[in-house]
Structure 1
Amino acid sequence: MTEQVNDNVILFPKTIEYYQYELTRMLEAERYGEAVRLLRFLLNCRHHDHRVQGEWQSLLDWLQMMFPEEQFPLEDEQEELTEEELLREQLRLRGREGEEYAEKLLAALEQPYEVDKQLLALEQLALVEHPRVNEVLEEWATRPNLHPMLQFKALQTLQRRGATGSVTLYKLNEETVVDLEDTPPTFDDFPAQIHEIMLRVQEISETQHPALSYFAQETWNEFLAFIYGTSQYRQMLRQDSSCVDVWAAALHLTLLEHVFHSGDREELLDLYGITSHLLFQWEQAYRVMKQFAATMFSGRM
């Protein structure tokens, strides 16, 4: 990624959306150096969204302020610190500047129809020190009709900030209570049986529908955000190993129907070994998947 002027590179709206998503992923993975390089590259490209240009510049300024590599001492004890810990320390030292930036991030959460930008704000709010952040996030996460991915990201942010206690959410027509400290801080931290479902889909799709594997992980993460904390999620955790195929088959068919506009139900049930005694459980799982698809695929981020 070069830092020279890229006058010949034009960013169209869909390309900007892609890079917004990539920046979010980099921040989630604590790849701050890569995010800085990408932002420098993007700021030298041509496009017509001046608001995005300003947001990218603000994010770059913040990262450079929080992560000035030359200021980090190289003593042995410092080498063991993570990038996130170093960022937290830099932010603590900046004092008032950090508090003012936190207020800007909290204000960004109030912008409707700006999911990508709200996700970026939440990622940064996990690191700042400000007395109002936890209180605002807890209230914001419980709002009705909040995008499921934003709601789950808010819970993750609170967990990463060390928040404890529980919040009450209204999801899938039910009231559910979740403990903040139990929220998986990343999608890799979900229980093993959750990952087995994804691995099963990838195993089947490699031979039957190779292109599907590209969309499967992102869609599964979105589904986990959609269902997290509900009675269906708790039931998924309690079910035996045979239900790995039940949920995997439901996800596979949902992807075929909504991404590829195809899918043979009977063929998939046979591929995943869904026999008559598992059919009722599969139909329940598929019904939840259809609820998810109606919410997410109608307005993907």
Structure 2
Amino acid sequence: MRWPSAKFWGYTAIVLAVSAILHWKWSQGQIESARQKLMARQRAVAVELGPRWFPLRERVEGWALDLARSAGDELVDREALKAWDFRELAGIYLRLRVDEATSVDAIRKNAQRSLRDAFTACLLRVPNPNPLVGAECKRTRDCQTGEYCNEADRCSRPAQPFNLRVAYRTMHVLSDEWVRDAQDASSDLRLRLLESSFDDTVRDDVPLAAELLTRAQYYLVVLDEPAEGATTTEALLAVPHMARVGVWRLSDGKPILRLRREASGNLIGGTPSVEASVLEARQRQANSCALALAVREAIGDTTAAAVHPR
């Protein structure tokens, strides 16, 4: 059997190389075309939502930074509270440690761990749904209109106050970081993942977040001060410590409340048979509730003294 000549193999290699280059150029053209379409859609969303989200974000971040720099003089605007009790209204909530609110970037990063807790439950009067009773879900599209897929993977109506971390997560598609990720995507797979995530966010999360941010009438922030020996947030919330609480009215930016109180509750009913992790979780709840009751007393709620934080 005669093998093809060296010239044949040379021409074959040239053809294959040219074909590979042409395919690569075609693939890059397809990726670039898909990238430009995705960026155009992102810019359209930014034009619609940016004027509502960016100014609000700058204001609430500025207020959190000011409170982190200094607890300031105590403020309770009783006259404003007589006609405008924020505890019955829709609002925005953020809870961080003081050392997590040192800059705008730090707030945006650490806000991802901010959760509603016993503080909001013991302070506010807005009836919220049970987050564990809804239908199971993976994404918000699995839920009925007006519901979203919460942290427990259950369909639920949005609870109040609206956690700022959810807004950061949802509005991430408007951020510079998202734009850089889209511009740096060098493979079709990576770009498809970004496009799929963008579609899910715009279709499921953005409308709900935009509605809740529009309805919000106050901004409530809690900044926990460090305590000796508590190196993590969970450990800090489980021991007595001081915390700063601030409330601002969103309509005009008026500060309504600025307090510094101790978060320290008495844990009633704890027994040695209960696991240490369970006792610690209960203590965190008791401390947070005690802080809320201290705030209620400060604003003149006479029923707060009759409630035991436990």
Q: TM-score range by the shorter chain?
A: under 0.3
> More helix by proportion, 1 or 2?
1
Asked which structure has the greater CA Rg, the reply is: 2
Q: TM-score, normalised by structure 1?
A: 0.25
Structure with the larger RCO, 1 or 2 (CA within 8 Å, 6+ apart): 2
